A and B are shown apart, each in its own frame.
Chain A
Amino acid sequence: MRDYALVHVNGVRHEVRGREALMMLADWLRREAGLTGTKTVCSEGDCGSCTVLRAMPQPGCTTDFLEAPPLEFEAVNSCIATVAQMDGSHIVTVEGMQCGAELSPAQEAMKTCHASQCGYCTPGFVMAMSAMLERHNGIAQPIGPQLAANYLTGNLCRCTGYVTILEAALAVKATKQHSVARRYSNPAAVQAGIAAAEQSLLIEHDGVCVCAPVTVREACSFAATHPGFRVLGAATDLGVQINKGKPLPRAILSLHLIPDLYEMKQTRNRWRVGARVSLATIRRMCEESSPELSRFLNLFASPQIKNVATLVGNVANASPIGDTLPFLLISDGQVHVASRPGGKGPLRQRTIAMTDLYTGYKTLALEPGEIITHVSFANPEAKEMVRLSKVSMRKDLDISAVSAAFSCTLQKRGRSRKPPVIESARIAYGGVAATPIRLPEIEEALEGEVTAEKIESLANRIADRVKPLSDVRGSAAYRRVLAANLFRRFGAEVLLA
């Protein structure tokens, strides 16, 4: 059992214990490590000023450190993750980017392109841009404006209007020599991290305990013996609440040391996704099997969030506007849970259908002591048409007012000019009720011949049927119209198909 989180910051080893381990990484960097280049602005993962690079070596990673450095650095927000959650990570901050007096390629480009004005967002942009270079370093694929923008979606700037920042991202010249992975893949440090990860972690301070076991079995024991425990994944929601005054849960369970939960497997056209699989990984893995999901994940959240946030976390958070939930509702989503009643004996596992999971606002049909280990969903059939949409005040990196998922299977029409015929349909919405919902009666009514009149009449039924609230993201009336219009848009596409 370890009583410290092991993190390497700019190549320096830190064993972080007690109070410090429960601090948010950004605060710890600024206040304890004296690295004030990393800025905190929103404390909610929405502005990217706190962006750092993070790599977490996997067990059994390559030992050929020079040819293929084992560390893969990605951008993450440091303001909403505790140091304990970063256990096993290698962190590089803006202070670690320079090679002696020489600026890193991203720093040099930001400087010469006038991409920095007041300077407060600048370190975050430097790090986000560096994450882009890490992935595209040495790859022939040129970095175009859209790709660059995708890497910078998680960073806000109020001065430049982004034009010069994009210019910097397109002008930046990186060579293999500049690779952060090469510079920081120190064999001893990587091996030490892997060795430490084989030991469970227990940090206790001021009545709060953080436990990171190495097996699901142990995790379930902790859950059984600590009523009121919370699973801390990426903490992209809980971390925000803590920053805004909510006390830390007394018992925190982290699954980051359980190797099985990093697996994402496809069997018989179903994906089974472990609790530690990030949305970024899902986006990459699903590009072929579920392209609509992959495309949708581009709009959804920032790279910093997607690199750590998980599908299981999105499900467990149970928000009525969880962006993946309508998709899971129409894709035969299932939730796999495990428990160990009394903390002893064999593991008890069961499966809950997504359609049965939510029993009310932010409440799940879980028994005390149960934890979600996996989520699974079906890939769309070849003839199935799937459309996922979300509408928000701002197109990218915003929380939905309304989200929707539609799927239908069309009968083969050949050259017939008759209206299309729907064999089966599924419709799910987020943001129009206390939970994400399916609309079975509309699905049923949609089956059969589709005409413009039918679409219009069902759209009106949807507007009547949903029960949204008015809030900061939109009025109830707007949400009704949106729910109907997203269906109209889908209907128009079906009619053209």
Chain B
Amino acid sequence: MTILRDAGSPPHDSANTHVTGASEFIDDRSMLKGELHCGVIYSPFAHARVRRLDTSLACQVPGVVGVVTARDVVHNVWGTIFQDQPILVETEAQYVGEVVVVVGAETKEALVKGIAAVEIEWERLEDIRSIDEAVAKGSFIGHERTISCGDAQAAMLEAPCKISGTLVIEGAEHFYLESQAVVVYPKEDGQLEVHSSTQHPTEVQHVVAKACGLRFSDVVCVAKRLGGGFGGKESQAAPIAAYAALMAKKTGRPCRLVLTKDDDMIITGKRNPFQITYECGCDRAGRIVALDAMLYSDGGAYADLSTSIMERALLHCDNAYSIPNARLRGRVCRTNFHPHTAFRGFGGPKGVALIESIMEDIAHTTGRDALDVRMLNCYGPGHDMTPYGQKVENNCLPALFGKLEATSEYRKRRDSIRAWNSDRSLNPDAHVRGLSLTAVKFGISFTTRFLNQANAMVNVHVDGTVQVSTGAVEMGQGVNGRIACIVAEQFGISLESVRIMATSTEKNANTSPTAASVGTDLNGAAAKVACIKVKRRLAALAIRLKTIPPEFWATKTAGLGTRPEIDVGDGVDVDGDAHHRVVFHHGVVTVTHRDGSEFQIGFAQLVRDAHLNRIAVSAYGHFSIPELQFDKVKGQGRAFLYFTQGVAASEVELDRWTGEVKVRRVDMLMDLGRPINHGLDMGQVIGGFVQGMGWMTTEHLYYNNDGLLVSHSPSTYKIPNVQDTPRIFNADLIFNEGNVVNLERTKASGEPPLLLAISVWTAIRDAITSARSLHTADSSQPIVPIAIPATPERVLRALSPENFEAAENVQ
């Protein structure tokens, strides 16, 4: 195992309290006197009408203090994009897990009894539980979206080779370790203080306020840290918070709702399942001339973020490859499943899986190596226009392909795998290996323009330490550490002098969710704006102090009132004025005059003097990403500020007896610009990959015939284990200082690495194709399609369909 790492990069800002167990999560907060434990009752049916709901017995259970139903909700509808989802079921439940009743009790024991005492009579209704069914019945959310360029249909007719197929991509569970959790404290005059495990405190604030009939100014939402989010707490934390808030409002007591892992998995939505039919035309060399694809996603019962997720899927069907003629259409299906939602990648992986799968198909059809096909189609000079009309600038893809081809020894390993697969003396068990190298080009920015803004508050204290508040939520990704680093560098002080405070809507209002990988890009930039405001004033003061003997500084005289105040207005430029250069470094502010004379003052001393001169040393910064111009109606324009790019090569071995998959080796190479903290970024790179690897292989959502998720806990839903981490895992970054458009020339690292795990799935496909062609000695047979995830059962079925046929025919 070798990882390139800058050993000097500081650990996570909470590392110390994480390892000692002192980090406080929602459910670690002490119970207050009178605080209630809340629990929920949800629909056991995918679609059913509430015929009778009786909570009277529950209210009589000793210890039960409150029962909340739809009747208690002032404004019983919410939704991030479309307002289509009730907070509590009124008459009809649309999925298993849709919450109908909230019970609040003084003890957990009473809560269990109270929940058992609620009586609900259900009348089952017809439901829709597949994409096919939804399409047949015309059950959709939103309109069909299209992104197109050139003339795909005409070009397809001319194409010498054509490939078509259907790709099934199932959903996945976020499996954040900390389940959805919230505590609500009622405050004076009807106000509520909400502590929520949410990626989007502003939305929680708004949804809670509306549900309770309060004004936004009556509700504060605080998110200190999350035990993982991955998109699952972007929108879906809001109704959970509303349940506890409604109970707090009704009972006047503090209320805590912490879902069990089972309930969390049953209630909350997942990554949207997709079903994609496609046709791709290419020339005999394997160069794509046209792509026509219809993407259907399963949105579940309510819109949630599914339409935006579909948009991002469509915007990523090109991935690293130039497609001159494309027609990409997408439609979200309304079904009777939990409303599916954001999950790391946000639709992007579906588009990427499609085109990477097509690359394998083309390789098979043309008889070329899949890497050659990919490099042939890769964006490069002269063919750098995406189907949505944004030029691919600062493009590292060809360099990444070339470099990883060499460092992963792709060609050599391709030969040795071929030999190993066919030579029983090397491989007595006749297992089968596969290799695949795929790419990612992930668009960075929210595709919804107004979300690309952030605000930050920087408070400099008179001892020279700094507190920073932004809208960014820390969920393990290290956004706090990165922002702290930016602020420390701005003021030229140590990292220890900067503390990032809990995210709260009373300090930062109207914030965007911490999502789309842009938490640091946006909030770090806003913090920098605030820092600069303070620095300009401090720089001006330092220049003035240079000319004043220290015994006349405000620290000596302010109390006596003997000296006039220094007024600096909005200050000077951060690096000085026409005559002076000002540098903030190592806790010291240095002013150098053009004549060579120099003056130094400690940062803390300067701040103290600023304060005594009544100069503001706190500031608020607002930042918005410039230049975005994407027309959603036309599907054209600059959707992204820049692209994060990378490549990965994965080698797998399939057990021909059981279908079990082992990932033997992974080589990753990414362009993350100029990282702020190498260690944190590598954590995103490797962690994202392994998370994606689970989705590609063992994470299987299994629903029964009632539409209930049966794999609703880690005993049945298998995320990767320490033993699954590839033994040889080489992850590296290229050096790229060219991303001038973004904060500190960095690049976002949260989502993109997950998409590189698609190489595991394409490697499995490669292995299956090798096995089948060895088996039949017929290389012209079509590629065996395999769904995502490629579970052991699916792999074994693909390796030996005849055995399955026989087994299915046993009486």
Segment among B205-213, B513-521, B680-688 that sits at the interface with chain A: B680-688
Chain A residue numbers with a CB within 8 Å of B21 are 35-38, 93-95, 122-123, 126
* B686 & A161 in contact (Cβ 8 Å cutoff): yes
Q: Which of chain B's residues have a CB closer than 8 A to the CB of A391?
A: 658, 660, 792
Given contacts A94-B20, A149-B723, A401-B793, list 10 more A-B pairs with CB under 8 A.
A41-B714, A103-B20, A117-B477, A153-B722, A156-B719, A159-B228, A393-B718, A394-B724, A478-B804, A478-B807
Which residues of A sit under 8 angstroms from B475, Cβ to Cβ?
118
Chain A CB within 8 A of B140 CB: no
Give 27 pairs: A residue, B residue, CB < 8 Å, sorted on A.
Answer: A36-B24, A41-B179, A42-B714, A44-B714, A111-B15, A114-B679, A114-B683, A116-B11, A118-B228, A119-B17, A119-B25, A119-B225, A145-B727, A149-B723, A152-B722, A158-B228, A167-B1, A395-B660, A398-B718, A460-B806, A463-B806, A464-B810, A478-B797, A478-B807, A480-B807, A481-B807, A485-B657
Partner pick for A46 among B710, B714, B806, CB 8 A cutoff: B714
**Complex Cα spacing A481 to B792, Å:** 12
Query: Residue B178 contacts which of A44, A120, A156, A480 (CB distance < 8 angstroms)?
Result: A120
Q: Is B398 part of the contact surface with A, judged by Cβ < 8 Å?
A: no
The answer, among B12, B711, B724, for a CB contact under 8 Å with A472, is B711
A249 CB-CB contact with B under 8 Å: no
Residues of the A chain whose Cβ atoms lie less than 8 Å from the Cβ of B662: 395
Tell me whether B714 and A117 are in contact (CB under 8 A): no
User: From residue A155, how far is it (CB to closest CB) to chain B in Å?
Assistant: 7
Q: Which A-chain residue is minimally distant from B174 (CB atoms)? A: A158
| CB closest chain-A residue, reference B689 | A161
A389-410 CB mask vs B (1 if < 8 Å, else 0) is: 0011111111101000000000
| Most chain A beta-carbon contacts within 10 A, residue among B1, B112, B476, B729 | B476
* Across-interface contacts of B719 in A (CB, < 8 A): 156, 158
Task: For the complex formed, measure the closest distance between the CB of A165 and the CB atoms of chain B, giving whole angstroms.
Answer: 7
**A119-B14 CB under 8 A given contacts A37-B21, A397-B721, A484-B803:** yes
Query: Is B189 interfacial (CB-CB < 8 Å)?
Result: no
- Complex: A481 Cα to B798 Cα, angstroms: 13
| Complex alpha-carbon distance, A359 and B682, angstroms | 54
B80 beta carbon closer than 8 Å to chain A: no
Which of A393, A460, A474, A477 meets B698, CB within 8 Å? A393
Which residue of chain B lies nearest to A479 when distances are taken between CB atoms in the complex?
B807
Interface residue B22 (Cβ < 8 Å from any Cβ of A): yes
Say yes or no for A496: interface residue by CB 8 A criterion.
Answer: yes
Decide: A126 and B25 in contact? CB cutoff 8 A: no
Asked if A110 and B19 make an inter-chain contact with CB atoms under 8 angstroms apart, the answer reads yes
* A477, closest chain B residue (CB): B807
Mark each residue of chain A from 1 to 39: 1 if its CB lies under 8 Å from any CB of chain B, else 0. Answer: 000000000000000000000000000001100111111
B713-A44 in contact (CB<8A): yes
Query: Is A176 at the interface (CB under 8 A from chain B)?
Result: no
**Digit string of A453-471 for contact with B (CB within 8 Å is 1, else 0)?**
0000000100110000001
Least Cβ–Cβ distance between A98 and chain B, in angstroms: 6
Give chain B residues whose Cβ lies under 8 Å from the Cβ of A392: 718
CB neighbours of A489 from chain B (8 A): 429, 657
Number of interface residues of B (CB under 8 A): 89
Q: For chain B residues 793-811, which have a beta carbon within 8 Å of chain A?
A: 793, 796-797, 800, 803-804, 806-808, 810
Chain A residue with Cβ nearest B727? A145
Given contacts A158-B177, A472-B702, contact A117 B793 (CB under 8 A): no
Determine the chain B residues whose CB is within 8 A of the CB of A95 once the complex forms.
20-21
- Report yes or no: A163 in contact with B713, Cβ–Cβ below 8 A: no
Output the least CB separation between A240 and chain B (Å): 8
Closest to A484 in B: B803
Interface-centre pick from B27, B680, B793 (highest chain A CB count, 10 A)? B793
Q: Is there a chain A Cβ closer than 8 Å to B230's Cβ?
A: yes
In the complex, what distance in Å separates the CA atom of A73 from the CA atom of B549?
66
- Report the minimal beta-carbon distance from A104 to chain B, rounded to whole angstroms: 8
- Residue in A153, A478, A489 with the greatest tally of chain B CB atoms within 10 Å: A478
B83 part of interface (Cβ distance < 8 Å):
no
Cα distance, A93 to B20, chains bound together (Å): 10
Q: List, in ascending order, chain A residues with CB within 8 A of B729's CB.
A: 163
- For A, the interface residue count at a CB cutoff of 8 angstroms equals 88
Q: How far is the CB of B714 from chain A (nearest CB, A)?
A: 4
Task: Enumerate chain B interface residues (CB-CB to A < 8 A).
Answer: 1, 3, 5, 9, 11-12, 14-25, 27-28, 30-31, 112, 174-179, 225-228, 230, 260-262, 428-429, 475-478, 657-658, 660, 662, 679-680, 682-683, 686-691, 698, 700, 702, 710-711, 713-716, 718-725, 727, 729, 731, 791-793, 796-797, 800, 803-804, 806-808, 810
Which A residues lie within 8 Å of B31 (CB)? 31
Q: Is the CB of B803 within 8 A of A160?
A: no
- Chain A residues positioned under 8 Å from B9 (CB to CB): 114
Given A46-B714, A111-B16, A120-B228: A162 and B792 within 8 A (CB)? no
Partner of A478 from the list B226, B683, B793 (CB cut-off 8 Å) is B793
Interface pair A39/B722, CB less than 8 Å apart:
no
**By CB atoms of chain B within 10 A, which of A34, A103, A157, A489 has the most?**
A157
Alpha-carbon gap, A149 to B729, bound state (A): 15
Bound CA span A249–B687, Å:
42
Q: A119-B227, A393-B700, A474-B793 are in contact. Are A399 and B715 (CB under 8 A)?
A: yes
Q: How far is the CB of B61 from chain A (nearest CB, A)?
A: 15
Report whether B687 and A393 are in contact in the complex, using a CB–CB cutoff of 8 Å: no
Find out whether the CB atom of B683 lies under 8 angstroms from the CB atom of A107: no
List, in ascending order, chain B residues with CB within 8 A of A119's CB.
12, 14, 17-18, 23, 25, 225, 227, 476
Question: Given that A149-B722, A161-B725 are known contacts, is A103 also in contact with B715, CB under 8 Å in the complex?
Answer: no
Q: Which of A120, A126, A391, A474 has the most CB of B within 10 A?
A: A120
Interface status of A58 (Cβ within 8 A of chain B): no
Given contacts A114-B679, A161-B690, A163-B1, whether A47 and B714 have CB atoms under 8 Å apart is yes
Q: How far is the CB of B87 from chain A (nearest CB, A)?
A: 25
Residues of B within 8 A of A152 (CB): 722
Q: Is the CB of B686 within 8 A of A164?
A: yes
Is A118 within 8 A of B178, CB to CB? Answer: yes
Contacts of B112 in A (CB 8 A): 245
Query: Do B228 and A37 have beta carbons less than 8 Å apart?
Result: no
Q: Answer whether residue A376 sits at the interface, using C-beta atoms and an 8 A cutoff.
A: no
A49 and B796 contacting across the interface, CB-CB below 8 Å: no
Leading 6 A-B pairs by shortest Cβ distance: A37-B21, A118-B476, A161-B690, A120-B227, A119-B18, A117-B476
A395/B227 in contact, CB under 8 A: no
Interface-centre pick from A30, A43, A117 (highest chain B CB count, 10 A): A117
Distance A477 CA – B811 CA, assembled complex (angstroms): 11
Binary flags per residue of A159-177, CB closer than 8 Å to B gives 1, else 0: 1111111110000000000
Q: Given that A114-B679, A166-B722 are known contacts, is A478 also in contact with B796, CB under 8 Å in the complex?
A: yes
A371 CB-CB contact with B under 8 Å: no
Fill in one digit per residue for A70-102: 1 if any B CB lies within 8 Å of its CB, else 0.
000000000000000000000001110110000
Q: Does A277 contact B (CB under 8 A)?
A: no
Closest chain A residue to B25, Cβ basis: A120
Partner of B683, one of A43, A164, A464: A164
Which residues of A lie under 8 Å from residue B27 when comparing CB positions?
30, 36
Q: How far is the CA of A31 from the CA of B731 in the complex (A)?
A: 42
Q: Which residue of A36, A47, A118 has the most chain B CB atoms within 10 A of its CB atom?
A: A118
Inter-chain contacts of B429 with A (CB < 8 A): 489, 492
**How near does chain B come to A161, taking the closest CB pair, in angstroms?**
3
Instruction: Take A114-B683, A116-B15, A394-B698 as given contacts and tell me if A475 and B711 are in contact as well, using a CB distance cutoff of 8 Å.
Output: no
Instruction: Annotate A409-451 by CB proximity to B: 1 below 8 A, 0 otherwise.
Output: 0000000000000000000000000000000000000000000
For A35, list chain B residues within 8 Å (CB). Answer: 21
Is A214 an interface residue, CB under 8 A from the partner? no
Q: Closest Cβ of chain B: how far from A370's Cβ, in Å?
A: 30
- The answer to whether A162 and B690 touch (CB under 8 A), given A118-B177, A245-B112, is yes
Q: Is B657 a contact partner of A166 (Cβ separation < 8 A)?
A: no
Residues of B within 8 A of A167 (CB): 1, 3
